[in-house]
Amino acid sequence: MTPLATLGLGLLLGLKHAFDADHLIAVSTIVTRERSPWRSLWIGLCWGIGHTLTLLLVGLLVLGLKKQIPSPVGLSLECLVGVVLIGLGVATLYDCWRKRVHAHTHTHAGTPHAHFHTHADTQTHQHLHPVQLGFKPLLVGMVHGLAGSAALMLLVLAAIPSPTLGLIYIAIFGCGSVVGMGLVSVLLGWVFSLAADRLRDLEYGLRLAIGALSTAFGAWIVVEIGFIQGLFF
């Protein structure tokens, strides 16, 4: 395969990589808080930047030393993704519980009336500047980049003999993941924005489902890697 074809394949694989289940679930737990597709896009781009940054840093180290990442280290990093997913899921569930809708009955002129209110924050309280908004997905993306680095570096070392070409491949792979996650985040942001404007109950249900899915999927990763693959033994 020619170098140009190799780099083109890296871009396609990077796009595909953004659609991995753990990536989608992690970003979804963050995007569910947003009501703007553009802010959701920023979240996806920050995830991709963090993901690419750690891949490049690990690539510099691995390609410079021409060493593979030890299997226990790779498994530990993958297990860390499970822990992060559990944390994101629990945080989303807690946020849903904190903002749950309450019904209270009051009596006016001798007639009982039910009133509903929520503990949701106001838009002013929810507003975050771009730097603050991007910090969390950047960190999550960095964790995912570390977790995926072992397999990617093994591929690069085996198929790309030139360290320079290997780093370019990693960079293009990362660019593909940035674009892919940006597209996913815009779509998710649009869905949640639409649900928030028209179907409040649906939005709340979606957030609960994503929080539960993230927690369960993270726990499954920890069990799979820690006990089935033997990291903890």
DSSP code string of 171-223: HHHHHHHHHHHHHHHHHHHHHHHHHHHH-HHHHHHHHHHHHHHHHHHHHHHHH
In a domain, 209, yes or no: yes
CA distances (Å), origin 108, targets 96, 104, 167? 31, 13, 71
In a domain, 123, yes or no: no
In a domain, 178, yes or no: yes
Q: Residue 50: give the domain boundaries.
A: 19-95+128-228
In a domain, 107, yes or no: no
Q: How many CA atoms lie within 13 A of 172 on its CB side?
A: 18
Nearest Cα residue to 215 out of 39, 12, 22: 22
What whole-number distance in Å separates Cα of residue 72 and Cα of residue 21? 23
**Secondary structure (3-state) at 232:** coil
In a domain, 113, yes or no: no
In a domain, 54, yes or no: yes
What pTM, to 2 d.p., does this model score?
Answer: 0.85
The first and second tokens of residue 40, run together, are: 């959701």
Count of structural domains, the chain: 1
In a domain, 46, yes or no: yes
pLDDT in tens, the chain (233 residues): 688 888 899 999 999 999 999 999 999 999 988 878 889 999 999 999 999 999 999 999 998 888 889 999 999 999 999 999 999 999 999 998 887 754 445 555 555 554 444 454 444 345 567 778 899 999 999 999 999 898 888 888 888 878 899 999 999 999 999 999 999 999 988 887 776 656 667 778 889 999 999 999 999 999 999 999 999 98
In a domain, 58, yes or no: yes
- For residue 125, the model assigns a pLDDT of 43
